Amino acid sequence: MAGRTVRVQGFPAELPPDRAADKLTIHFLRSRNGGGDIANIQVLPGSLPCALITFEAPEVAQRILKVKNHVLVIGKTQYPLEVTPHAAELSPNEVLRG
């Protein structure tokens, strides 16, 4: 899965995980956002929720990472998203940092 997964932060914590997954799926499927077919999406709720999105192809993840301004629109509100590479081999200490 390394190379195909990105970590996404910046969507609202009050958004239920299933709805966040739906909104993120729609955003990252769109070719205009650099997206493509998604193999899996996992929303990790919390005060600073994040999502791990695994794409079918590594080149889609690379395109996603090259797009500088991902903005998730929910209703009339825009949420700037932070998209970073996800390394499956991170230790628990690295995951909790930040």
Counting Cα atoms < 13 Å in the Cβ hemisphere of 87 gives 6
pTM (2 d.p.):
0.85
| 87 belongs to a structural domain | no
Q: Which helix (H) or strand (E) holds 95?
A: helix 92-96
Reported as a single tens digit per residue, the pLDDT across 7-56 is 999 999 999 999 999 999 999 999 999 999 999 999 998 889 999 999 99
Question: Where residue 2 falls among pLDDT bands split at 50, 70, 90?
Answer: low
| Residue 51: strand pairing partners | 8, 43
In a domain, 70, yes or no: yes
pLDDT of residue 43: 97
Q: Tell me the per-residue pLDDT of 54-89, one tens digit each, with 9 for 90 and over.
A: 999 999 999 999 998 999 999 999 999 999 999 765
Q: Is residue 91 part of a domain?
A: no
Q: Does position 92 have pLDDT exceeding 90, yes or no?
A: no
Number of folded domains that form the chain: 1
The pLDDT value given to residue 82: 97
Domain range enclosing 45: 5-75
DSSP state of 46: S
- The domain that contains 28 carries what CATH number? 3.30.70.330
